[in-house]
Structure 1
Amino acid sequence: MSEGELLARIFPRLAVLGSPLLGPGDDAAVLAAPDGRVVVSTDTQTEGQDFRIFWPNGYHSSGADVGWKAAAQNLSDINAMGAVATGMVVSLTLPAETEAEWVDGLADGLVEAIRSLGAAGCTVAGGDLGMGGELSVTVTVLGNLEGRAPLLRSGARPGDVLAVAGRLGWAAAGLALLEHGPAYEGLQAALRDVIRAHCRPEPPLSAGPEAARAGANALMDLSDGLLKDGDRLGRASGVVLDLDAAVLRGYAELLAGPASLMGADPLLWVLGGGEDHGLLAAFEPSAQLPRGFTAIGSVVPAAGGPGGVAVAGRPAQPSGWDHFAR
């Protein structure tokens, strides 16, 4: 079908969200910016690099899966600044043979994620549609700080309590099952839930603003793994994030089922697995942790070094996702 015909299918699916001053249809949308500042983040998913349609274990990624994940990972970045998402634009590059029903599903997945994850004030205001050799989805999200200062990676201080909100290691376990696990059709419901955690991550979107209101000193999205992202926060703040080994083992025990099936060490998923899109935060030692946050370690001086991450006092080598790592 033509570009116009495809857009005519998509727009009604997206019109149920938010109240833009001017939505899709013109050359640009118009959104309100009541705070006077706009938080913005963008990310791209490309077939074969960031997701597959057909996985080795037989799972088939629907358009709704890809739409959900595209929304979730970008909403999480706004959340990690302590902000609330207000608007989203989406750019789709589609091979000519892409089925229209798959694109319908992608639009529905965007809407379902926005509603289910708690970003009801976010509207899909427009975007771009084009044809190309590979399927690619780029989402840009705008956010409102609601009068608060943005939470940065550079604010952690020695003595702070380190805490996380959301899951650790589940998306990595789901990826392992998709890539190397037994046939999806024969999996028990609990293992299918782990795969869903990879295909449809659930960032805790209320946790970012709550951390800001609780006076967090630093905050960031956990998209590339606890060690890699922890190292980034530690270096940005000039401190060392010392993770509690016992707490980490507790997170790993939650993944004992898929780990046993795959013959894997679940602690490696917890430490190095990304795409759960939880939050890593540093709070004053006297602060009461907001609902949903769990203490996972402490912030200590860098002792003259550039900062980084450690486990039980021992420096840890950052591991996690890197698009360009060899």
Structure 2
Amino acid sequence: MSEWRIYRGTGEPHDGIDRLPAPPPWRDFGNAGDAVTPFDREAPSQGRRRLPRAAAYQAGEGIIDAVNTALYLRRPLLVTGDPGVGKSTLADAVANELRLGTVLRWPVNSKTTLRDGLYRYDSLGRLEEAGVDRHRMRQGGQPRPADLGRYVSLGPLGTALAPYALPRVLLIDEVDKSDIDLPNDLLDVFEEGGFEIPELARAADTHETVSIRTADAGQDVTVCRGMVRCRAFPFVVLTSNGEREFPPAFLRRCVRLQLPAVTDDETRLRAIVRAHLPGADGLAEGIIELFMERAATGELATDQLLNAVYLMSRTAQEGAPDPDGIARLVLQHLNVTVPAE
């Protein structure tokens, strides 16, 4: 294994992230003396039920090199490929192996805005409390001390950009489904490594520092004069199904990785099944053959193969349903409607 690789693709947790060298000068966002926010590095990615899948992720040489390039250069990793090839699972695999805690997940759709990922401000709650305070004062009472942190919470992108000593892992899922402006809106955030919360900046004269909640319910982040700025640039995975083109300015700021389809690679399919379902190799041969046959005439995903093998392994006894029938129910093409057989 090459020594330059921080992420090895083995699935075995280790502290290799501690060997990550200093960033390029143009990607250095913090100082050694800056205050940092701790996070739980042992927290499993999105719950313990997801860890086995992350640990079993099959990372090829190209994937490993792309991940390490993004880590070294402090650049987002734009991962393109067909559904089911493991784009989203890559974020879990990196977080699991490098012990970087819970993956921060930001699913994107056509209505998603940059602010959705950065932070939320409860303006209605703040207005209601102000009204309660005015009523209390009219009754001769004293207003409660203002706590702006009660009305602000960081989104997944905002949390990833908080001042952590080690990079957080952020998944921005299906960015190609976003509004046309979102990729360009992300540019400044990626270049600056931070953002301003105007509602807190306006109150900086009276509330210079405010503690606000994070998207993963971890330790609160202290924000000074409304500015959130990372110390370690997060490991960002942006996934795309290749349904649209991105502007050149966005592409040049990303490390790009194209994941090949695995539906015609029998050796790799066997390795995927072996990693996720040890002991099911015997039953898997026929299912893999059927999977490849059907994949030649329509779109399939590897999780369908795993589902079919699992189902066969649990029904392979006398009186079980017809194996081919079960497989064909699970292995239906994703790009067409297939009638039940």
Instruction: Report the TM-score, using the length of structure 2 for normalisation.
Output: 0.25
Q: Which structure's CA Rg is the greater one?
A: 2
Which is strand-richer, 1 or 2?
A: 1
Instruction: Report the TM-score, using the length of structure 1 for normalisation.
Output: 0.26
Which is helix-richer, 1 or 2?
A: 2
